[in-house]
Copies of this chain bind each other. A is one copy, B any other.
Amino acid sequence: MARWVYRFGEGSADGGGADRNLLGGKGAGLAEMTRLGIPVPPGFTITTEVGASWDAARGMPPEVRAEVDAAVAWLEATSGRRFGDPERPLLVSVRSGARASMPGMMDTILNLGANAVTAEALAKETGDRRFAFDAWRRLLVMYGDVVLRMSRTRLDAEVDRARIATAQRRGIDATRLGADELRRRVPDSDLDPDELAKACDALQALIATELGHPFPTDPREHLLAAVAAVFSSWDNPRARTYRRLNKVPASWGTACTVQAMVFGNLGADSATGVCFTRDPSTGEKRFYGEWLPQAQGEDVVAGLRTPLPLGKDEPGRAAESLEVRMPAMHADLVRVKDSLEISMRDMLDIEFTVERGKLWILQCRAGKRTVPAAIRIAVDLANEQRITRDEALVRVDADSVEKLLAEILDPAAPKHFLARGLPASPGGATGEVVFDPDEAERRAGQGKAVILVRDETSPEDIHGMHAARAIVTARGGMTSHAAVVARGMGKPCVAGCSALAVDVEAGTLTVTVHDEQGRPKERVVIRAGEHISVDGATGSLYLGTVPMVPAPLPREFDELMTWADEALARPGARHLAVRANADTPRDAQAARKRLASGVGLCRTEHMFFNDDRIDAVRQMILAASADDRAVALAKLLPMQRSDFEEILRENAGFPVVIRLLDPPLHEFVPREPKQFEHLSVVTGKTVRELVEASEALHESNPMLGHRGSRLAVTHPDIYAMQARAIFEAACKLAAEGVDVHPEVMVPFVISREEVVRMREIVEAAAAEVFAAAGRTVHWSFGTMIEIPRAALLAGSIADVVDFFSFGTNDLTQMTLGLSRDDAGRFLGTYVEQGLLAADPFRSVDVAGVGALVRRACEEGRAANPKLGLGVCGEHGGDPASIRFFHEAGLDYVSCSPFRVPIARLAAAQASVGKR
């Protein structure tokens, strides 16, 4: 029988750390911690299976309801408290928790169980009436906001009224204060209990108006509504956006955890905080965190109060550290975090609350970290022998390594220093200041580099953060929303930069620049659209644009890549080699530097656009006859030969796959009248003739047109020239003693007969060149498999070639009927609505394109057991695709030189067989 609810508490739990998929990260962590004897408030988790099949219209299925009722009864018994009890009332939190962490994306309700009766009970029990009614008003506000989707502003207005009344009781005229200033002057912890009680009444009345009937008083009713809201929040717009950006499948669903409340705002001996077992920004092994005394729930991350450091080693802040203020709690916390890290074998993000001198752990999960931190932590954990080297390899998201290879502000460049905030996420960026997330998205869509500057960020800002190059906030700490999200996105972030004053309405950012002694020196006003530069590693902001340089790779990355290469050289297993796409000698050099095993794709036509060649290319294309064309080809031959010579020389000892001309000829024709005039001089034809010849090449669907080997069927002389250039270059180098391995590849084929015809052209050129040179070089012949028919007929093509190279870009376009140039209008919607699992141009479509690749590999190898198999589409640099190519049995992938390290890491990960 299926089970829908898993309990945890009092040292035992139904689930454990391994039940992440069923209980979500939070639920599994709580169960695991309970088992480990860590102090965790008791509770229960409703599984992701319930969440995944949640139907808002139908509500909770009866079989689930029965288990929830039983779990509530158990929780009441375990905690010695009861829902609605006038003496010892039970208060619980209701939280989401998916398989993958989606911080802040879904809804949470705290203090559920509070009502008019239990607030009084709580006041009596704690002796703290303010606390008790504050708990109730928090529930009312969250319930109105999350469950009933009421206007948050209307709800907050009732509380602000209590603030004004409180201020007035103290003789302050608060009516003229702005909302932010009011909240700062009269924080929650200062509200007058009677005013709070009035606010609760007012909130109840507001909710009753919204509902059309009185607000129910029974906490059990609240619980059902809150669980429903949490499950439904899986599908809210910001959660959907987050999933799309982070490739989280919509089908996973969230779990929902109901847990007894503990309170960090129950007086001076109460507190709440967040800590990381290692530095999430650098990966350094140091205990790191923030806390706030007399605070509840989201106060630490909300940014309204600036949190205090945990350890006393923070320069100048020892006095406010937890270690000094609550030494016993600090010691408990250090013990807990050490034992948790050992048990969980990873850097952890731990939420804790101290309630009247007792430490409780509310959450523990793998901590979000920057890419350099992820690398350092994985390498350190392996060196500490907490995990194996293979585990360390798979701990690093290969895709994220791209961010490592990004750029930083040039340290040597002159800069106009503005201010320093917290170094919340490393990396450098330059861009125009934007204050509004929508505006950030709009401008980024126009290709502008933007820097989002906010007082603080919230989950509603996620799209603007995604669009921005960097994020800057005036408030909030290292664990604020802005900091956490920026690190997850791998974007630079400077948080809590208090020298900034953002005036969104005026569209200005005012910076108070301080001198070296920390005294205000000048005020700089920056308008929206003006440029600033951000250094997330130091927390510094600069005025204007600063040049960028490549980031130095962290030392640990080299160590990790050594392990990757060890894994890829391990005998007895099948490994993917990583080659690079290189169209020019310079690319080839870059690829060798990044340890590519040769060139997997050299696109000969990319050399055609050089200024000194395009004339000859155009002359060839617009030739009126074969003789005419021969003249142009004769001009191109020595140019192509010298290119090939350099690329082959650069890759001595390695294979170099050279693809013969692929794009439709009209890609090369002139566009401008001037170009036609110039060409008229070069070729001796009239402009009119040239324009007509160009127009005759127009195609309705160039993607499916006259290109690749089709050009060589109608104009074999073009491939003959290219093949001749390759073999002449190879013979020249061989004569010099250079070890060359040219692999000639023909594109866009659909039949065996066509491949045979292409091979004849290439072989004829080889025979002629070898005879003239008096020597031969070893070479091989292959074809791209990039049209569905070629994949379907791979078995018949395989024995006339030495290798296949899958062109998964075109194969994706044709298999899915998707023109990459045109898909922008709808592809995003497809991925967002789950009609396609992912963008098929980013990660190979395993179900469709993958089925063709697998079939072609199997039938190709069956027909020709020596057949080489590679891939040269952009998927060759995508880790998820590399995993698939490894499983499909390919020999190599080829990607841009830039992505070679990523591909090597991903290949090693596939090889050690995890992730």
Contact with B along A193-216 (1 / 0, CB 8 A): 000000000000000000000000
Considering only residues 834-867 of chain A, those with a C-beta below 8 Å from chain B are 834-836, 845, 847-849, 851-852
Chain B residues with Cβ under 8 A from A848's Cβ?
750, 788-789, 792-793
**Residue of B753, B793, B835 touching A757 (CB-CB under 8 A):** B835
A337 within 8 A of B: no
Q: How far is the CA of A710 from the CA of B816 in the complex (A)?
A: 12
A510 at the binding interface (Cβ < 8 Å): no
A767 proximal to B (CB < 8 A): no
- CB-CB under 8 A for A826 and B750, given A705-B819, A833-B757: no
In the bound complex, do residue B814 and residue A815 qualify as a contact, i.e. CB atoms below 8 Å apart? Answer: yes
Asked whether any CB of chain B lies closer than 8 Å to the CB of A817, the reply is: yes
Chain A 774-811 per-residue mask, 1 if CB under 8 angstroms from chain B, else 0: 00000000000011110011001000000000000010
User: With A748-B817, A788-B788, A792-B851 as given contacts, are A703 and B706 in contact (CB-CB < 8 Å)?
Assistant: no
CB distance from A21 to the nearest CB of B (A): 21
B-contact 0/1 string along A822-834, CB 8 Å cutoff: 1101100110011
Take A751-B836, A835-B753 as given contacts and tell me if A703 and B702 are in contact as well, using a CB distance cutoff of 8 Å. no
Q: Is the CB of A821 within 8 A of B753?
A: no
State in angstroms the CA–CA spacing of A18 and B830 once bound together: 59
Bound together, the chains give a CA A127 to CA B337 distance in angstroms of: 124
Most buried by B among A750, A816, A823, A845: A750
Chain B contacts of A751 at CB under 8 A?
A: 835-836
The answer on a CB contact under 8 Å between B789 and A750 is no
CA distance A653 to B231 in the complex (A): 49
A172 at the interface (CB under 8 A from B): no
Question: What CA separation (Å) do A713 and B819 show in the bound complex?
Answer: 17
Asked if B789 contacts A701 (CB within 8 A), the reply is: no
Q: Which residues of B contact A833 (CB under 8 A)?
A: 713, 753, 757
Task: Find chain B residues with CB under 8 A from A810 CB.
Answer: 817
Asked if A822 and B699 sit within 8 Å, CB to CB, the answer is: yes
The answer to whether A517 has its CB under 8 Å from any CB of chain B is no
| Bound Cα distance A388, B830 (Å) | 57
Tell me, in angstroms, the Cα distance from A810 to B821 when the chains sit together: 19
For A786, give the chain B residue with the smallest CB separation.
Answer: B817
Task: Please determine whether B700 and A702 come into contact, CB atoms closer than 8 angstroms.
Answer: yes
Number of copies: 2
B-facing mask of A704-719, CB < 8 A → 1, else 0?
A: 1110001001100000
The answer, among B750, B757, B793, B834, for a CB contact under 8 Å with A817, is: B750
Q: Does A380 contact B (CB under 8 A)?
A: no
Within 8 A of B (CB), among A181-202: none
Please indicate the chain B residues that have their CB under 8 angstroms from the CB of A691 in the complex.
none
A701 to B813, CA, bound (A): 10
- A107 CB to closest chain B CB (Å) equals 26
Q: Which residues of B contact A704 (CB under 8 A)?
A: 701, 703-704, 813-814, 817-819, 822
Contact between A847 and B793 (Cβ–Cβ < 8 Å)?
yes
Cα distance A830–B757 in the bound complex, in angstroms = 11
* A754 within 8 A of partner (CB): yes
Tell me, rounded to whole Å, the shortest Cβ–Cβ distance linking A722 to chain B: 18
A818 to B825, CA, bound (A): 24
A748 to chain B: closest residue by CB: B817
A739-786 CB contacts (< 8 Å) to partner B: 748, 750-751, 753-754, 757, 786
Q: In the complex, which of the residues B787, B822, B847 contacts A792, with contact meaning CB atoms closer than 8 Å?
A: B847
B residues in contact with A849, CB < 8 Å: 789
A796 CB to nearest chain B CB (Å): 8
> What is the bound-complex CA distance between A433 and B706, given in angstroms?
35
Q: For residue A703, which residues in chain B have a CB less than 8 angstroms away from its CB? A: 700-701, 703-704, 817, 819
A809 CB to closest chain B CB, in angstroms?
12
Q: Once the chains bind, are B754 and A830 in contact (CB under 8 Å)?
A: yes
When C-beta atoms are compared, the residue in chain B nearest to A664 turns out to be B822
- Kindly name the residue among A751, A822, A830, A852 whose own CB sees the greatest number of chain B CB atoms within 10 A: A822
Given contacts A706-B822, A819-B700, contact A845 B789 (CB under 8 A): yes
Residues of B within 8 A of A847 (CB): 789, 792-793, 796
Report A251-309 residues with CB < 8 Å from chain B CB.
none
CB pair A835 B754 closer than 8 Å: yes
B816 and A713 within 8 A (CB): no
Contacts known (A710-B826, A713-B835); A701 close to B753, Cβ less than 8 A: no
> Does B702 lie within 8 Å of A816, measured CB to CB?
no
Q: Which residues of B contact A793 (CB under 8 A)?
A: 847-848
**B700 and A825 contacting across the interface, CB-CB below 8 Å:** no
Residues in B with CB closer than 8 Å to A829 are: 713-714
CA distance A847 to B750 in the complex (A): 11
A855 vs chain B, min Cβ distance (A): 9
A714 touches B825 (CB 8 A): yes
Complex alpha-carbon distance, A852 and B700, angstroms? 25
Which residues of chain B are within 8 angstroms of A787 by Cβ–Cβ distance? Answer: 815-817
> Chain B nearest CB: distance from A312 CB in Å?
55
State whether B792 touches A830 (Cβ < 8 A).
no
Smallest Cβ distance from A708 to chain B, in angstroms?
A: 9
A757-B830 Cα distance, complex, nearest whole Å = 11
Enumerate A674-709 residues with CB–CB distance to B below 8 Å. Answer: 699-706
Report the minimum CB–CB distance from A778 to chain B (whole Å): 28
Known: A700-B822, A822-B705. A814 touches B788 (CB 8 A): yes
Which residue of the partner chain B has the closest CB to A818? B704
CB distance from A834 to the nearest CB of B (A): 6
A175 to chain B, nearest CB (A): 42
Given contacts A699-B822, A701-B822, A702-B701, contact A713 B817 (CB under 8 A): no
Closest CB in chain B relative to A415 CB, distance in Å: 42
A699, A704, A814, A815 — which one has the most chain B CB atoms within 10 A of its CB?
Answer: A704
Closest to A704 in B: B819
Within the complex, the shortest CB–CB distance from A108 to chain B, in Å, comes to 30
How distant is the Cα of A845 from the Cα of B851 in the complex, in angstroms? 20
Minimum CB–CB distance for A756 against chain B, Å: 9
CB 8 Å contact bits of A389-417 with B (1 = contact, 0 = none): 00000000000000000000000000000
Closest to A827 in B: B710
Closest chain B residue, CB of each to CB of A711: B826
| Distance from A819 Cβ to chain B, minimum over Cβ atoms (Å) | 4
Contact (Cβ within 8 A) A821 B699 = yes
| CA of A757 to CA of B815, assembled, Å | 21
Given A814-B815, A835-B753, A701–B821 Cβ distance below 8 Å? yes
Please name 7 further chain A to chain B contacts, defined as beta carbons within 8 Å, in addition to the given A714-B826, A788-B852, sorted by A numbering: A700-B821, A701-B701, A713-B829, A787-B817, A788-B817, A814-B814, A814-B817
Write 14 A-B pairs (CB below 8 A) sorted by A numbering: A701-B813, A704-B822, A713-B829, A713-B833, A750-B818, A753-B834, A753-B836, A757-B833, A788-B816, A788-B817, A792-B848, A792-B851, A793-B847, A796-B847
Interchain residue pairs A-B with the least CB separation, the first 10: A789-B848, A701-B819, A704-B819, A787-B817, A700-B821, A705-B822, A699-B822, A701-B703, A788-B788, A754-B835
